[in-house]
Amino acid sequence: MQLTKNFSVQELLPPDVYAARGDASAQLIDIRIVNVAQWLRDNLGKAITINNWNSGGQYKESGLRNFETSTGAKWSQHKYGRALDLKVNGMDSEAVRQYIRTNWATLKNIGLTCIEKDTPSWVHIDCRYTGLDYLLEVPYK
């Protein structure tokens, strides 16, 4: 099931959640974060990988995560369907973060509120409620 032009529901879920709920799993994902990913895909003009388990790849917890997983923080935004870890083809993570900072005036209107600093090979984005009028940048653990 396609959620946007370039992102399917499988790319945002771990395989066990998709196996259990199928396309109905889409209701577990905050559409704002998917729209942010689509905006980045459209404006960077580069392929973005979130989860790729469905095509034989290694990533399966870069979108929604089960509460039982040991990956990430106990109360991670991933567990509420409000966060994605992006890998942008041909760009390092700091260049993507800088692009997000430069374009945050637009991205905040779509729903982006937070990124993680210093992630080594991916870019964490989320749409948690912050109440802030600036992009929250949290440390990577």
CATH code, domain with 58: 3.30.1380
Q: How many domains does the chain have?
A: 1
User: What confidence tier does 141 reach under pLDDT thresholds 50, 70, 90?
Assistant: confident
The reply to whether 93 falls in a domain is: yes
Residue pair 111/32 in contact (Cβ under 8 Å)? The answer is yes
The reply to whether 2 falls in a domain is: no
Give pLDDT, residue 74.
Answer: 86
Give pLDDT, residue 76.
Answer: 94
Pairing of strands 114-117, 83-88: unpaired
The reply to whether 118 falls in a domain is: yes
Span 102-125, pLDDT tens digits: 999 999 999 999 999 999 999 999
Rounded CA separation 45/89 (Å) = 10
The reply to whether 61 falls in a domain is: yes
Give pLDDT, residue 71.
Answer: 86
- What would the DSSP string read from start to end of the chain? -BSSSS-BGGGGS-HHHHHHHGGGGGGGS-HHHHHHHHHHHHHH-S-EES--GGGT-S--SSS---TT--SS-TT-GGGGT-EEEEEETT--HHHHHHHHHHTHHHHHHHT--EEEE--SS-EEEE------SS-EEEEP-
Give pLDDT, residue 104.
Answer: 96
The reply to whether 1 falls in a domain is: no
User: What confidence tier does 19 reach under pLDDT thresholds 50, 70, 90?
Assistant: very high
Task: Tell me which residue range forms the domain holding 122.
Answer: 9-65+72-139
Rounded CA separation 81/100 (Å) = 20
Give pLDDT, residue 73.
Answer: 86
User: What confidence tier does 72 reach under pLDDT thresholds 50, 70, 90?
Assistant: confident
The reply to whether 20 falls in a domain is: yes
Whether the pLDDT of residue 32 is over 80: the answer is: yes
Give pLDDT, residue 29.
Answer: 97
